[in-house]
Amino acid sequence: MSLSDLDHTSKRVLMFGGKGGVGKTTCSATTALHYASMGRRTLIISSDLTPSLSDIFEMEVGPTEKPVKGIENLYALEISPDEVMKRWKAKFGPEIYEAASTLIDMEYDEVIDYVAIAPGIQEEFMLDYILERVKDGRYDLIVWDTAPAGDTLRLLDLPYKFIAHLRMAPRFYFEIRDAFKLKKVPFLELIESWKALAKEVTDFMRDPANTEFILVTIPEALGVYQAKRLVREFERYGLTIRHLIINNVIQNPDCEFHRARRAMQIPYINMLADEYGDGRMKIIQLPLFAYEMKGVERLRELEKVLFR
Ligand SMILES: Nc1ncnc2c1ncn2[C@@H]1O[C@H](COP(=O)(O)OP(=O)(O)O)[C@@H](O)[C@H]1O
Ligand SMILES: [Mg+2]
């Protein structure tokens, strides 16, 4: 099994998710490298709190898109939560303030800071950002190395949580609106447009023609437990995971230590196969390499397995 079935699709966004340390960034980078090498203009974005694209590509990767040296068609970007917030404020701040200031007498920062701490804003912005990149057509494919499992899913609740957050703000004029019996309130229009935006991004993510979510895990109790939890959560949101990568698999044990470790892994690999292998998901096993996955040469080795 491999990811090569994706070669024949025209998906625009591939998301990699899973708990920290299982190989999300490694698999994302390898996948991005693969498609860039096939001639698709590819952007890899990492929004992981502990981004490591710089290590993997052995160059400085930062918050603005940069070509990856030595690999044609590949661009990389690492974006921190702080940077996301900064851009969010720059993009939506004036609009929100304008709407809010027709209703209330509040300082700019006070309004924007309140709105900006709404739950899911980070993820919402990331998706909006990615959707913008998809729409502007500069890239054929975006590979998104997401923040560790769970966080990304919160965004699917966003429209509801966000609006609840705004409604909770006592100074956000809802009472005043009622007191003055105002019919048309610009702020409500703004909320409506936010709802529409949130819906657009979540619809995009839900549509398998655009987006594929690839789950990465390791053959250990915690890895299996978290994978199951994530799959359940996805299902709750009407999303399907079709690819599961089991990373760090010991394949040819030649000493007592590795035989013991493989014996530990096998039941977990079997559990995952029983649960998801019945045609529900493609399960891809990746070997544990003797070295860390740093530099293009190493990624090429992994690519051979991942896209066999
Ligand atoms: N198959 C593998 N064999 C050996 N080392 C690996 C493998 N996959 C990942 N690694 C190493 O494990 C560490 C964590 O991988 P990383 O991709 O950064 O995980 P995540 O992004 O999920 O936190 C890195 O040092 C990476 O080089
Ligand atoms: Mg990572």
Mutate to test the pocket of ligand 1, among 293, 294, 296 (most ligand atoms within 8 A of CB): 293
d(CA 82, CA 103): 29
Give pLDDT, residue 90: 85
* pTM listed for this prediction: 0.86
42 lines ligand 1 (CB under 6 A): no
Which residue, among 54, 35, 51, 226, has the nearest Cα to 146 in the 3D structure? 51
The set of catalytic residues is 48
Distance 26 CA to ligand 2 centre (A): 7
Give pLDDT, residue 71: 94
Give pLDDT, residue 170: 46
292 lines ligand 1 (CB under 6 A): yes
Distance 24 CA to ligand 1 centre (A): 7
Give pLDDT, residue 16: 92
Give pLDDT, residue 24: 93
The number of beta carbons lying within 10 Å of the beta carbon of residue 101 is 15
Compute the half-sphere exposure of residue 213: CA atoms within 13 Å on the CB side of its CA. 23
Residue 203: CB partners within 8 Å, gap ≥ 6?
A: none
Q: What atom of ligand 1 comes closest to residue 21's alpha carbon?
A: 23
Distance 143 CA to ligand 2 centre (A): 13
52 lines ligand 1 (CB under 6 A): yes
Distance of CA 29 to the CA centre of its chain: 13
286 lines ligand 1 (CB under 6 A): yes
φ, ψ dihedrals at 216, nearest 5°: -115, 135
d(CA 155, CA 159): 8
Distance 72 CA to ligand 1 centre (A): 24
Give pLDDT, residue 44: 96
67 lines ligand 1 (CB under 6 A): no
Q: What atom of ligand 1 comes closest to residue 216's alpha carbon?
A: 22
Q: What atom of ligand 1 comes closest to residue 26's alpha carbon?
A: 17
CATH number of 3-306, picked from 3.90.1300.10, 3.40.50.2300, 3.40.50.300, 3.30.300.30: 3.40.50.300
Nearest CA to ligand 1 atom 2: 288
Give pLDDT, residue 49: 72
Environment of ion ligand 2 (residues, CB < 5 A) = 24-25, 48
d(CA 289, CA 301): 10
Residue 29: CB partners within 8 Å, gap ≥ 6?
A: 44, 53, 56, 57, 145, 293, 299
β-bridge mates for residue 15, sequence order: 144, 213
Q: What atom of ligand 1 comes closest to residue 287's alpha carbon?
A: 1
Amino acid in position 19 = K
Give pLDDT, residue 187: 63
* pLDDT per position as a tens digit, 52-75: 899 999 999 988 999 999 899 999
47 lines ligand 1 (CB under 6 A): no
247 lines ligand 1 (CB under 6 A): yes
Q: Is 60 left (phi over 0), alpha (psi -120 to 50) or beta?
A: beta
d(CA 272, CA 283): 8
Regions of the chain with pLDDT less than 70: 51, 100, 102-106, 118-123, 148-188, 190-191, 194
